[in-house]
Amino acid sequence: MSFDAANLLPILPEIAVLVTASTVLVLDLYLEERNKGLNHSLSLLGLVVALLLTGFVGGGETQILFDGNLVRDAMSDLLKGAILVVSLLAFIYARPWLKDRGMLVGEFYVLGLLAVLGMLIMVSANSFLTLYLGLELQALSLYALVAFERDSKRGAEAAMKYFVLGALGSGMLLYGISMVYGATGSIELGPVAQAIAEQGMSNKVLVFGIVFMVIGIGFKFGAVPFHMWVPDIYEGAPTPAVLILGSAPKIAAFALAVRILIDAMQGLHADWRDMLVILAVLSMGLGNLVAIAQSNIKRMLAYSTISHVGFIFLGLLAGSDQGYAAAMFYSIVYAVMATGAFGILIILSRTGFDAERLEDLKGLNDRDPWYAAMMALVMFSMAGVPPTVGFMAKLLVLEAVVRIDMVWLALVAVFFSIIGAFYYLRVVKYIYFDKPAEDAPVLATTGGVRVAMTFNGLSLLALGMFPAALLTLCQSAFV
């Protein structure tokens, strides 16, 4: 078991993020107030370096390292890249908001980077232990980010809810893991899968364990009926925190589900499929219906998240490589869309004002046509209107479901997305067909934000028209 330095090569992206976070943490102590922007630049630099390193160490055969605790495969490469890109965008959007409120402090970047680190660890985990630790690292950082605005009562309340329910979800997951460990004698995914293949469904302990694991995954995704925390936290948390926790963590949660349900428990597919069907139908139904009634756009986006989670589950429950690839495609696309939507909310905010009502979007076209177009693209994509990528993602998932002869499920999904289209298009109506409020000031943004948002919005369009590249990558992860 002697240590081999070659083990370190595939975790270079993680190391880069950790080094950046530590540097920011120390450097922040010595920075004067006006130089705090350096934290931001350093964090972005760290993420870019991590992204380059991901590309550098990625590709090639699946490697299992650190005595089975870590895996580097096609899925981890792609998801790591997606998480880093999405987080990069999120950090760029967050800066003006933080600066206006005097919160451009090192801790935001440290916690944000460590949350990213947690996600990276999750996607390349090869044992329940690593998976759980990555999850906790991400969650703990996010709890703190939600409470970041410490004089805000709503933020504190949201953080408390998030913490308690998050801890409950983690506890469920851990209990499930302990059951599976008891039944299989291992916490490493490969041996667990092997033991399950031998024992099959005969082992009641395994079935008991998987129930808890699915509940834990449901909590982390925010699927109905474990969704209670989502709207309150989206509403109460400061927008940059929502930006970070509403985007990339969905990709990480997808990785969590894949590692547990597919890498380890493929043998019990029949068991968890039915549970996921229930979660998916409830999530799509409740998410889309309740979102209509919301006047707060953060809450609306929260319910929209819930409904999108239902779609991701559709792909997972199909149980075919095609379905998994579709779900992966969907979760990456969703993260990009969510980043764009919350990014626009931050752009609309200014000192002493947070854009959170639907009315705040009124007449965005008159105030800044380019951002209005980008927001419209995001909304079309979320609704699943061609030629945006949202349509492509939904189509792929539905195709996978139809392929396993669950046509009724596909019909239900289509029905609810039609209902869902209503509230997304309502946002577009506010943007283009309503007059802005009298006192609405001119939108002041920096060039960086504009470039990022342009990239964000147009990528939705580009991916929709040329989905093949990303899709091939997704499919290559499941062969």
Partner 1 sequence: MGFEKFLFYVFALITLWAAGMVITRRNPVHAVLFLVLAFVSSAALWVLIEAEFLGIVLVLVYVGAVMVLFLFVVMMLDVDLAALRAGFIRALPLGLLVAGVMAVEIFLIVGPANFGLEAFPPPDAAPADATNTRDLGILLYSIYIYPVEIAAVILLVAIVAAIRLTLRRRPDNKSVDPARQVRVKKGPDRIRLVKMAPEVEEPFGASPTTESGETS
Q: Which of residues 221-280 bind partner 1 (CB under 8 A)?
A: none
Q: Which of residues 12-41 bind partner 1 (CB under 8 A)?
A: 18, 25
For partner 1, give the closer residue by CB, 26 or 451.
26
Residue 264: CB minimum distance to partner 1, A: 17
**Structure-derived torsion over alpha carbons of residues 16, 18, 19, 24, reported in degrees to the nearest 10:** 120
Q: Which residues contact 252 (CB under 8 A, 6 or more apart)?
A: 79, 83, 118, 119, 122, 123, 134, 135, 138
Out of 140, 264, 347, 474, the residue judged to bind partner 1 by CB under 8 A: 140
DSSP state of 327: H
Of 174, 188, 257, the C-alpha closest to 222 is 257
For partner 1, give the closer residue by CB, 80 or 394.
80
- CB atoms under 10 Å from CB of 241, counted, come to 31
Alpha helix stretches (DSSP H) within 349-446? 364-367, 369-383, 389-403, 407-433
**Interface stretch with partner 1, choices 90-98, 128-136, 245-253, 308-316 (CB under 8 A):** 128-136
For partner 1, give the closer residue by CB, 188 or 360.
188
350 beta partners: 353
For partner 1, give the closer residue by CB, 2 or 435.
2
Out of 102, 182, 225, 369, the residue judged to bind partner 1 by CB under 8 A: 182
Of 400, 423, 418, 422, the C-alpha closest to 410 is 400
Q: Does 195 bind partner 1 (CB under 8 A)?
A: no
Count Cβ atoms within 10 A of the Cβ of residue 130 and give its class: 0-12 exposed, 13-18 middle, 19 or more buried.
buried
Out of 85, 183, 400, 427, the residue judged to bind partner 1 by CB under 8 A: 183
For partner 1, give the closer residue by CB, 140 or 372.
140
Q: Does 189 bind partner 1 (CB under 8 A)?
A: no
Q: Does 5 bind partner 1 (CB under 8 A)?
A: no
Of 207, 214, 220, 225, the C-alpha closest to 261 is 214
Q: What is the amino acid identity at position 131? A: L
Q: Does 147 bind partner 1 (CB under 8 A)?
A: yes
Residue 361: CB minimum distance to partner 1, A: 32
d(CA 467, CA 153): 43
Q: Does 213 bind partner 1 (CB under 8 A)?
A: no
Q: Which of residues 57-86 bind partner 1 (CB under 8 A)?
A: 66-67, 69-70
Of 341, 223, 220, the C-alpha closest to 284 is 223
Out of 73, 136, 263, 356, the residue judged to bind partner 1 by CB under 8 A: 136
- Angle between the 468-477 and 74-100 helix axes, to the nearest 10 degrees? 120
Q: Which two tokens stand for residue 378?
A: 């995001």
For partner 1, give the closer residue by CB, 208 or 432.
208
**Interface stretch with partner 1, choices 38-46, 77-85, 141-149, 385-393 (CB under 8 A):** 141-149
Q: Does 306 bind partner 1 (CB under 8 A)?
A: no
Q: What is the amino acid identity at position 392? A: M
**Interface stretch with partner 1, choices 134-142, 229-237, 242-250, 313-321 (CB under 8 A):** 134-142
Q: Which of residues 81-120 bind partner 1 (CB under 8 A)?
A: 107, 110-111, 114, 117
# residues contacting partner 1 (CB under 8 A)? 37
Q: Does 196 bind partner 1 (CB under 8 A)?
A: no
Three-state DSSP state, 404:
coil
Q: Does 212 bind partner 1 (CB under 8 A)?
A: no
Q: Which residues contact 405 (CB under 8 A, 6 or more apart)?
A: none
d(CA 351, CA 374): 23
**Interface stretch with partner 1, choices 122-130, 191-199, 251-259, 317-325 (CB under 8 A):** 122-130
Contacts with partner 1 by CB under 8 A lie at 1-3, 11, 18, 25, 66-67, 69-70, 107, 110-111, 114, 117, 121, 127, 129-130, 133-134, 136-137, 140-141, 143-144, 147-148, 150, 179, 182-183, 203-205, 208
